[in-house]
Structure 1
Amino acid sequence: MNVHLVNDEKFVNLSVKRFEQYYPGKNLFVVGVPKGHSGPLQHVAPHPRVKVLNFNSRNAEKKILEWAGGQEKINLFVHFLIPSKARVALRLQGSGRSVKTYWIFYGFGLYNLLEERGDYEVFDNKKPHSWQSVTLNWLKNAALSLLLRCNMFTVCEEFIQKLDYFCFWNHYDYQLLLRHFETDAKFRFFRYYEMPLQKAKPQAPKSKGTVFLNHSASASGNHDSLIRWLRPWVEKGEVNRVVAPLSYGSPQVAAEVCRQGEEELGSTFEPWLDFMPKEEYFSALNEISVAWFGHNRQEGASNIFFFLANGTKVFLRSNNNLLKLLKDKGYYVFELEEYVEKADAMDVMSMDEMMHNYQLVKQEFSQVAIDKSYQQLIER
């Protein structure tokens, strides 16, 4: 039995489809919901293999075991690590059943832990949390620790120590995990594989002077640094359009990015504040000549791979290990800090470079790659 602990996120529908395709009838998806939740989920569609549960309920693991029936062997997949899921996973490991744990890695879970410990700088200019928010968060974790008889402050680290498999497509994040945590977890290559490659048009005309900033209103995108670095290019007239997609993520971040963008970049700044239909969104991306991503960690990979496929010139931060991974694989991709003041930074890539990147993405997201990722994921 494959038990999946997930959030109410859009990607879960694809995950249900994929796992049922490769492991039919052997999956249980448990979607975390707040206490007292009723009615339909926001993103996850109804499915016979989907259940809902408050992960912070005291007997959450007993309910999961009840749904799993008499299955003695459980492959437990934690999609997106948060303390409530880590606690449930540890309780299931101690249930007497044979439980193997698989962390389906996103990025946030590991980097957030490291940032909180002072072991990694996610933000260029970290703003201190208000004492009210710090106190409220501490009280919440303290109350849950007492209620659930579990240290919610350290539960994620305990989960990592007992983890069996770290599942991701970037082995540099696995190496980062091993440098900072004591764990015997093994690496398993895995990705969800949602790549609309057929919508990528590397031969479509690119709009020179247009720069795309990040993929969402994420605080870790460091928009303030990108906007500051872009201002000289706008003043020289070499950048005439700066697109910032802000419909997804934090409304507070979106508001601050809009304020700074309009103040620093004037009429060239173009925030996308409303969700766009997929066809319209990908069509718009095909016109972009340059994309800057300000994250100091792996984030926004779906957009990055799409840009690589459609011939956009992609810039990543020097300490984002995705930059190193892509260079290892032979992609034409550029270090932002190195090129931010170079005269040719805004030049459109050659058609040969565009098609080279397109072929690499096509190979990486092929049906053969998808089959291999899912078929070799679970311990036999």
Structure 2
Amino acid sequence: MYVHIFNNTNHKFSEPFFDFIERNFDIREHLFLIVGDYSINEYRERENLVVLPNLKKEFGRFLKILKSSKKIFLHQLFFSLRILLFLNFQRKILEKTYWVLWGGDLYFYIQNRGNLAVRLKDFVRKRFIRNIRGIVTFVRGDYELVKQHYKTKANYYYAFYPNPVDYKYLDTLLETVNKDKGKIVVLVGNSADPSNKHIEVFEKLEKFKANGIKVICPLSYGGKVEYTEKLIREGSRIFGENFEPLTDFLKPEEYGKILKDVDVAVFNHDRQQGLGNILALLYIGKKVYIKSTVTTWKMFEEKGVKVFDTCNLGEENFESFFGMSDEDRKHNHEIIKSEFSEEKCVYYWKKLFED
């Protein structure tokens, strides 16, 4: 049995992944394990879904599942210090554990470096990461960062998630035209997490107000209420009625319609983040800015995908900010269609399961 462990807060990504596994693999061989109170989300009940709302009280059952598994896929490294300490002494469990890296769980070590509790947890994480079987990510640079910081012996495995916004659905959207759009639409960031550095982007975009831009900001998850409210105030102050915060969690189909009307997307993260959004936007031929300093930049460069450098945004005039050749848009579409299709997704996960 392959066991997939998710945190209860990752509903946006876990449910599409469960559907993907059910569509393409023998579901009898897979168990989905949710740690935390999953009832806070609207989710589909499944025969192979186990929810452990209180891991402390149900630790015996949790351990029994891990011991009886063929392979363990930890989708984001979110375990508490206590759980990590225990697992560090479970050699047989570590030898069949694969960490499916998300980004924020990798960059934990650069957060609050002076915080004693964080440094202690990272010390324990190091032993765990050094002794697991594999690390799964499609951004090779992130694996190299893991090796550099954690000195791990874990093998590298290339695999990725199916995009929450289905590419075939995006194809149907491209056949429609929004005659009422009117303005140049700029998407800023992918969540309410402060790592998006939204306000820095707002300040650089302010000079384009006279060009009739509309700024859309997804803020439905990832940040604290105080930060979200601050962003909304600042965005409204700078762009007025041309600022639209997306504070409600949207279904993939609804979100796809919004992405379809985007002209330019700006991601200001200092680390790999927002890849689901980025891939969907590139697929539908949108101009995307990311920082040339993040691991994602090199990955796209190696695949021949044309992205633009957020670090240069302050130097852009409106024509250069908005402009992108039709050839580059089409080229990006073809690469994403080829490299990140569901067929390719199935291929790499199948290899991983059979390794």
Q: TM-score range by the shorter chain?
A: 0.7 to 0.9
Indicate whether 1:33 and 2:36 are aligned. Answer: yes
Indicate whether 1:241 and 2:214 are aligned. Answer: yes
Deviation digits for residues 117-157 of structure 1 (CA, Å, limit 9, x no counterpart): 37xxxxxxxxxxxxxxx89xx5xx9xxxxxxxxx7563322
Name the CA distance, whole Å, in 2 between partners of 1:241 and 1:309: 22
Cross-structure match for 1:188: 157
Q: 281, 292, 309: which one pairs with 1:307?
A: 281
Indicate whether 1:24 and 2:20 are aligned. Answer: no
CA displacement at 1:5 relative to structure 2: 1.9
Indicate whether 1:114 and 2:110 are aligned. Answer: yes
CA displacement at 1:296 relative to structure 2: 0.8
More helix by share: 2
CA displacement at 1:287 relative to structure 2: 1.7
Cross-structure match for 2:62: 64
Check the 8 A contact 1:290/1:348 in 2, yes or no.
Answer: no
Cross-structure match for 1:13: 15
Q: 327, 332, 341: which one pairs with 1:357?
A: 332
Amino acid at match of 1:184: K
Alignment of 1:327-346 (within 5 A): 327-343=301-317, 344-346=319-321
Name the CA distance, whole Å, in 2 between partners of 1:314 and 1:222: 16
Cross-structure match for 1:124: none
CA change 1:339–1:97 in 2 (3 A) is: closer
Cross-structure match for 2:3: 3
Deviation digits for residues 189-225 of structure 1 (CA, Å, limit 9, x no counterpart): 1112124112145676886632111112111100121
CA displacement at 1:95 relative to structure 2: 7.0
Check the 8 A contact 2:284/2:333 in 1, yes or no.
Answer: yes
CA displacement at 1:374 relative to structure 2: 1.2
Check the 8 A contact 2:2/2:29 in 1, yes or no.
Answer: yes
Cross-structure match for 2:78: 82
CA displacement at 1:239 relative to structure 2: 4.5
Three-state SS of the structure 1 residue aligned to 2:106 is: helix
Cross-structure match for 2:130: 161
Indicate whether 1:197 and 2:172 are aligned. Answer: no
Name the CA distance, whole Å, in 2 between partners of 1:266 and 1:168: 40
CA change 1:177–1:299 in 2 (3 A) is: same
Structure 1, unpaired ranges of 5+:
119-133, 142-150
Name the CA distance, whole Å, in 2 between partners of 1:379 and 1:202: 37
CA displacement at 1:52 relative to structure 2: 1.9
Name the CA distance, whole Å, in 1 between partners of 2:82 and 2:333: 38
Name the CA distance, whole Å, in 1 between partners of 2:324 and 2:182: 12
Check the 8 A contact 1:211/1:242 in 2, yes or no.
Answer: yes
- Greater mean alpha carbon deviation, residues 341-350 or residues 108-117: 341-350
Name the CA distance, whole Å, in 2 between partners of 1:89 and 1:46: 32
Structure 2, unpaired ranges of 5+:
none
CA displacement at 1:316 relative to structure 2: 0.6
Amino acid at match of 1:323: W
Indicate whether 1:221 and 2:196 are aligned. Answer: yes
Name the CA distance, whole Å, in 1 between partners of 2:284 and 2:264: 11
CA change 1:75–1:279 in 2 (3 A) is: closer
Name the CA distance, whole Å, in 1 between partners of 2:348 and 2:81: 24
CA change 1:49–1:330 in 2 (3 A) is: same
Name the CA distance, whole Å, in 2 between partners of 1:27 and 1:86: 26
Cross-structure match for 2:291: 317
Name the CA distance, whole Å, in 2 between partners of 1:276 and 1:44: 14
Cross-structure match for 1:50: 49
Moved over 4 A (4+): 95-99, 200-208
Percent identical pairs in the alignment equals: 27
Name the CA distance, whole Å, in 2 between partners of 1:10 and 1:278: 9
Give the superposed CA RMSD. 3.0
